[in-house]
Structure 1
Amino acid sequence: MFGRSTGDTGVKRREFITLLGGAAAWPLAARAQQPASSRKIGLLHPGESTVVSTRIVAIREGLNDPDNNRDSGIEIIMRLADGDISRLPALATDLVNNHVDAIVAAAPAAVQAAAHATTSIPVIAIDLESDPVANGFVASLARPGRNITGVFLDFPDFSAKCLQLLIESVPTLSGIGLLWDPSTGTLQLKSVEAAAQGFGITVQVFEARRAADIAEAFYTLDRSRIQGLLLLSSPLIAGNPQLVADLTIRRNLPTISLFPDIARAGGLLGYGPDIQNLYRQIGVMARKVLQGAKVTELPVERPTRFQLVANLQTARLIGITLPPAILLRADEVIE
């Protein structure tokens, strides 16, 4: 009554083995078909929440699929160092332990921390200060070859271009200060020092590792013969535009930075990439990774939009007359 033919048993056995084989693939298939609402991206940033909140908006704009024009529903887990970069390695490890699907790492110290924390989770970097190949983050710009890609400026002479713009704006300059965050490395510092030597300009370097150091540098400038200040690229500088602008006006000091937002806040000149657009660009790259793009084959990108912002209000306050050539080249003039 309960017997089955040998042929029927063979068929059932083959079906059972096939079912087992399919079951073994379930975890991988489930991960590949994971709904967007359950995906998680970690954001590793050296700054504070007041700075990062606007960046989150831009990342989400990049993450959202333009085809359906709806919120991606992807969870963003923030880990912020609040200005203390020594915390970044532990914060990176925490994101790995949270099983995020990708990590957005802002600034060289954050990229390094994420690189040490994982070799399997994709890391999408936003780094305006490093050479990604020389630093070992990627094998090449076209084919990263490991779990890191992202947006890198990778153009150390860009800071030297800022120096040239400052000299054009204040032709009487004979000495300038360089505000430098050591955590960003020496690439841009060496480039500007070499350019200053070519222009016959003396240079004095001021280190800034935290916001209080920025104010201290301006106070020190009062006791020197420095006639202008170039603020080298750093998340610390980018995260304190109003502080820098206020000190610029208070000390009657011509300044230029790679962050146009500082000029909008009251600095004299800003020439560099649109930071919000960079985070939007990063969001798009992260979306590609979540949709299945291999991070090892996702080419490194560069900033696509640069702006020169000149603040005429500040120029008048500090007694500077900006040349017509600078105003004509400016993308934005604040009057």
Structure 2
Amino acid sequence: MLRRDFITRLGAAAAALPLAARAQETRKLYRVGFLGDSPAVFADAIEAFRRELRDLGWSEGRNIAIEYRWAEGRLERMHELAEELVRLKVDIIVVPSSIYTEVAKRATSTIPIIFMSHAGPIESGHVDSLSRPGGNITGLSVMLPETSVKTMELLKEAVPALSLVAVIWDPATPSHGPGLKAVKAAGPALGLRIQSVPVHSATEYDSGFTTIVGE
């Protein structure tokens, strides 16, 4: 699904949370915290998000303000910015993925958090279920464990002689662990051996591929 579609739905989801219940109250300027990597990465998403909010009756400067915070990929900075949004007492926090969801969750258990896309919200413990998320977190799931297993099945079907599959993953991303676990569990039944290749940053990809080639 295109990111624009994600944000369009996100605007509707945001309106369904406490903000919507107070949509007729125009005396207070409600605050939306947006915690992301950089404005360059989310330029189209931000524009779609703003447009959908306008369509729902939320106008920046009139009844809503969006507090953007950009971590530039630095994990320690993510925590600082999430805590800053909590101190600002924003009414809702929007995050792009599972790693930002985890950061926001650690910062607050009361402010509603909406993730734009999450690979494994149940497996990472961020929601109780897709139909009843519980707590203060909700959003859109791409169901990484299930889709990863399906990918392995399709690979085996396409290449019957396949016996070894390398999986590059980031231990710092909450949804990657459950995805890897699901693939490893499915491997034996498919006649596949799964090679785990953890990387912690983009600079480790070269060494990761070297490890794969040397296996």
Q: TM-score, normalised by structure 1?
A: 0.49
Query: Counterparts of 1:201 and 1:142 in 2: how far apart (Å)?
Result: 33
Change in CA separation of 1:161 and 1:141 when aligned onto 2, cut-off 3 Å: closer
Change (3 A) 1:145 1:203: closer
Worse-matched range after superposition: 175-184 or 144-153: 144-153
1:204 and 2:195 correspond: yes
**Candidates 144, 148, 156, aligned match of 1:159:** 148
1:129/1:184 contact within 8 Å kept: no
Identify which of 173, 180, 184 aligns with 1:193: 184
1 CA distance for matches of 2:199 and 2:51? Answer: 32
Q: Distance in 2 between matches of 1:211 and 1:217?
A: 10
Aligned-CA RMSD value? 2.9
The answer for unaligned runs of 5 or more in structure 1 is 1-29, 225-335
Higher relative contact order (CA 8 A, sep 6+): 1
Which of 120, 128, 142 aligns to 2:131? It is 142
SS at match of 1:121: coil
Measured after TM superposition, the shift of residue 201 of structure 1 is: 1.7
Cα separation, 1, equivalents of 2:26 and 2:47: 24
CA distance 1:194–1:145, shift in 2 (3 Å): closer
Q: Could you tell me how far apart the structure 2 residues matched to 1:61 and 1:174 are?
A: 48
Match of 2:213 among 194, 209, 222: 222
For the pair 1:176 / 2:165, whether they are aligned, the reply is: yes
Could you give the per-residue CA deviations for residues 207-229 of structure 1, whole angstroms, max 9, x where no partner exists? 122111223322333333xxxxx
Aligned residues: 189
Match of 2:103 in 1: 113
* Partner Cα distance (2:200, 2:71) in 1: 13
Q: 2:83 aligns with which of 81, 85, 93?
A: 93
CA deviations over 1:139-189 (Å, ceiling 9, x no partner): 444344432222223462211111222333444422121011112342110
Out of 21, 27, 31, which is 1:40 matched to?
31
* Structure exhibiting the larger radius of gyration computed from Cα positions: 1
The whole-number CA distance in structure 1 between the counterparts of 2:194 and 2:129 is 34
* Aligned pairs for 1:217-296 within 5 A: 217-224=208-215
Which of the residues 47, 59, 65 maps onto 1:57?
Answer: 47
Q: 1:58 to 1:182 in 2, by over 3 A?
A: farther
CA change 1:169–1:59 in 2 (3 A) is farther
**Alpha carbons of structure 1 residues 88 and 169: separation in structure 2 relative to 1, 3 Å:** same
CA contact 1:119–1:147 (8 Å) conserved in 2: yes
Q: 1:138 to 1:220 in 2, by over 3 A?
A: closer
Report what 2:10 is aligned to: none
Cα distance in 2 for residues equivalent to 1:93 and 1:190: 31
User: Identity of aligned pairs, percent?
Assistant: 34
Distance 1:76 1:215 in 2: 38
For 2:118, the equivalent position in structure 1 comes to 128
Q: Equivalent residue of 2:42, what SS?
A: helix
2:150 & 2:117 partners in 1: Cα distance? 18
- Aligned-pair CA distance for 1:130: 2.6
Q: Indicate conservation of the 8 Å contact 1:101/1:122, yes or no.
A: yes
Instruction: Give 1:129's aligned amino acid.
Output: A
* Residues 162 and 60 of structure 1: CA distance in aligned 2, closer, same or farther (over 3 Å): farther
Tell whether the 8 Å contact from 2:33 to 2:69 is kept in structure 1 after alignment: yes
Superposition TM-score, scaled by structure 2 size: 0.72
